[in-house]
């Protein structure tokens, strides 16, 4: 079966996707520079897969390091998870975000073109929809100028992919717009391991649950939603990983630009998440209401029908799975991957 280069494959979503690719019979090759992950993840991936997954240490901005991967393996397609993703940090370091994300994707696509490798899957984000005019969001909903450099890199890379596809029509460009990935592999061996205090809700909740943080701050309880807190489409990372396999199965060697939302189609509020998490751990999780966080959209959830219809994929894991698996990972690894 096809060999797939997984750039950023040591990261949170990448590691879960490598496992689902291997389960589905693809041959993944991991490419990562560990700027936001740890080498310890590789042995865990191998343990879950029951075999050694090849690894190349490199930066997607380095043509030479990419060449090493393309020369050593016959790569049929690339899934590009490699990118920086912290919204707040991107405001302080816009040039780093443009260099790593946009320039990195540019170099990667150029090397692919040279090697006549025309299958590209890109980790995009629901952030490209900005503050939605209406929900649920379909793939036809307008893409807006982002409110932070991180989000804008997603908008710009999507545009670059679409333009390249027009110029080099052999390309199959798949733009997957993730909603809010949470959860972890059932084994508890791999999961999300943010550096420092987490910015995102689920890792913050899990760290409160294991006592690393005292309580959750809920950013805003006066939004125009049923309980006043913001609504998001949380999707289990294993469902998301399987969405990549479905996208590959459908789009491999199918020239064109293919855009899919990867979400569940259901929105949950921050308070819904706290309640579900409290249920998973069997006690009330402490929280306080805090002021709104700048830049938060009120509601964001997907219309997931296109992926279901065309890829035959839909999310199957429940909110209880998401919270239980996140907690299981954090409980087994209270300090994440300790190298």
Which of ligand WQD, ligand NAD, none binds 299 (CB below 5-8 Å, type-dependent)? Answer: none
Known active-site residue 150: yes
Beta bridge partners of 235: 181
Number of residues forming the site for ligand NAD (CB under 6 A): 27
Is residue 72 exposed (0-12), middle (13-18) or buried (19+ Cβ within 10 Å)?
exposed
Task: Please identify which residue in 61, 185, 242, 244 interacts with ligand NAD, judged by CB under 6 A.
Answer: 61
CA distances from 152 to 73, 141, 157, 222, 249 (A): 33, 16, 8, 28, 29
DSSP run (H or E) holding 275: helix 270-281
- Other CB atoms within 10 A of residue 156 CB: 18
The site partner of 32 among ligand NAD, ligand WQD, none (C-beta below 5 to 8 Å per kind) is ligand NAD
Nearer to ligand NAD by Cβ, of 49 and 289: the residue is 49
Q: Closer CB to ligand WQD, residue 180 or residue 333?
A: 180
Q: What is the C-alpha separation between 260 and 178, in angstroms, rounded?
A: 9
Query: Which residue among 83, 198, 263, 336 contacts ligand NAD (CB under 6 A)?
Result: 83
Give which of 300, 231, 299, 216 is closest to 270, Cα–Cα. 231
Interface residue list for ligand WQD (CB under 6 A): 85, 87, 125, 127, 151, 180, 199-201, 204, 216-219, 230, 232, 270, 293, 296
Per CB under 6 A, contacts with ligand NAD among 96-115 are: 100, 104
Interatomic CA distance for residues 282 and 279, integer angstroms: 5
H/E stretch holding 123 reads strand 119-125
Residues making up the chain, counted from first to last = 339
Q: Which is nearer to ligand NAD, 85 or 236 (CB)?
A: 85
Catalytic residue among 12, 150, 178, 301: 150
Q: Which residues are catalytic?
A: 150
Site residues for ligand NAD per CB under 6 A? 7-8, 10-14, 32-37, 59-61, 81-83, 85, 100, 104, 123, 125, 178, 180-181
């Amino acid at each position: 079966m096809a060999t797939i280069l997984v750039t950023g494959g040591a990261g949170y979503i990448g590691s879960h996707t490598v496992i689902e690719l291997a389960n589905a019979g693809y041959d993944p090759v991991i490419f990562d520079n560990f700027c936001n992950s740890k080498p310890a993840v590789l042995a865990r991936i191998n343990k879950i897969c029951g075999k050694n997954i090849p690894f190349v240490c490199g930066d997607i901005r380095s043509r030479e390091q990419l060449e090493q991967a393309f020369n050593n393996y016959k790569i049929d397609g690339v899934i590009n998870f490699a990118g920086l993703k912290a919204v707040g940090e991107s405001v302080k370091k816009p040039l780093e975000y443009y260099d790593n994300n946009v320039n990195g994707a540019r170099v990667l696509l150029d090397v692919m073109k040279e090697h006549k490798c025309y299958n590209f899957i890109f980790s995009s984000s629901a952030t490209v929809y900005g503050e939605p005019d209406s929900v649920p969001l379909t793939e036809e909903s307008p893409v807006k100028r982002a409110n932070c450099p991180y989000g804008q890199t997603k908008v710009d890379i999507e545009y670059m992919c679409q333009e390249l596809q027009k110029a080099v029509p052999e390309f199959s460009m798949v733009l997957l717009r993730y909603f809010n990935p949470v959860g972890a592999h059932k084994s508890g061996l791999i999961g999300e391991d943010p550096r420092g205090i987490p910015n995102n809700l689920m890792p913050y909740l899990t760290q409160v649950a294991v006592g690393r943080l005292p309580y959750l701050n809920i950013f805003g309880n006066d939004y125009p939603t049923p309980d006043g807190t913001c609504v998001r489409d949380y999707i289990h990372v294993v469902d998301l990983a399987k969405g990549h396999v479905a996208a590959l199965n459908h789009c491999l060697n199918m020239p064109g630009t293919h855009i899919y939302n990867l979400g569940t189609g259901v929105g949950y509020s921050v308070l819904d998440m706290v309640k579900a998490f409290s249920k998973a751990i069997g006690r009330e999780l402490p929280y306080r209401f805090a002021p709104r966080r700048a830049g938060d959209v009120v509601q964001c959830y997907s219309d997931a029908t296109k992926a279901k219809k065309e890829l035959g994929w839909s999310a199957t894991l429940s909110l209880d799975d998401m919270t239980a698996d996140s907690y299981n990972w954090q409980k087994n690894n209270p300090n994440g991957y300790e190298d």
